Amino acid sequence: MKSLRYLDLSQNNLAGDVPRGLGALSNLTYFSLGLNNFSGVLSKDHFAGLVNLEYLNLSLNSLKLDFSEDWSSDSITTSIKDRELNYTHESTKHIVLIDMSSNSFTGYIPKKLSLLKGLRSLNLSNNQISGPIPDDIGVLRELESLDLSYNYLRGEIPSSLSDISFLSCLNLSYNDLSGTIPSGQQLQTLNNQYMYIGNPGLCGPPLLNNCSMNGTNPNFSQEHEGGRSSLYLSMSTGFVMGLWTVFCAMLFMKTWRIAYFQLLDQLYDKVYVQVAISKAAFLRKRGDEET
């Protein structure tokens, strides 16, 4: 069926492997196998001939794909868009949506993903993808929705992400990302802390935890600890100096010693009298109660 352009088999109970022959449908623009029970391992052959594809949905299956093994030299973006490996803007502008969420994909996000210049929506959530987010993800200037949540991504959020001016939906939650959240203008317009929750190492707006308080700013922490130590040292030194001043004054000045001990005697007498009166009143009250 070389002329087939639209193929939607989603929301059925289809199972087993995805046929490799589907990759020969060169005129296919819409391809959806979402919400089925497909399993098995995807390879480059599944996408080799889909050079006109615009919409790809493989979500909510049990498919496996390891980007770091079979896709290291010819990534999924290469196979989808150009069988002859001619990386031009014309050969990669067609595809606008990729949804591969809720599968068993592993490995790193392919760096050649940046070849899909016309991509508007990318969803790789709820997989087992690890490694960093590609630094050049910001070249996807048409991207409107990016969902990489519930994976094992690590490292910092690339600052180039703030260069995507059309980005209106972003979800990086529940990964292992760390560092300061980029402060680009586009990311500030989103201003939703739920996009980043589940990443204990992240800090900065819109999250409430300050970068200087979770150890991401070691210089500040060192200065803060140094200032605290200096304060404690100054207080201890002042106390010792004051104590020695009083001791020396008492030692060399007789009138001060006399006045000091007289004061102690007076205080002792007052306390003794007060205790004696309180004791007598207590015994008198107790005797009255017994009678």
Per-residue confidence at 291, pLDDT binned at 50, 70, 90?
A: low
For CA atoms 10, 12, 18, 23, the dihedral sign is negative
The pLDDT tens digits of the residues spanning 53-91 come to: 999 999 999 998 877 654 543 434 433 333 333 333 444
Selection from 11, 25, 19 nearest residue 61 by Cα = 11
pTM value is 0.67
What's the pLDDT score for residue 228? Answer: 56
**Number of DSSP helices (H) and strands (E) in the chain, helices first:** 5, 15
- Coil, strand or helix at 179: strand
Dist. CA 68–CA 233, nearest whole Å: 55
The pLDDT tens digits of the residues spanning 216-248 come to: 444 444 444 555 566 667 777 777 777 667 666
Please name the residue ranges forming H helices in 132-253. 185-190, 218-252
Dist. CA 7–CA 140, nearest whole Å: 26
The pLDDT tens digits of the residues spanning 162-189 come to: 888 889 999 999 999 999 988 877 777 8
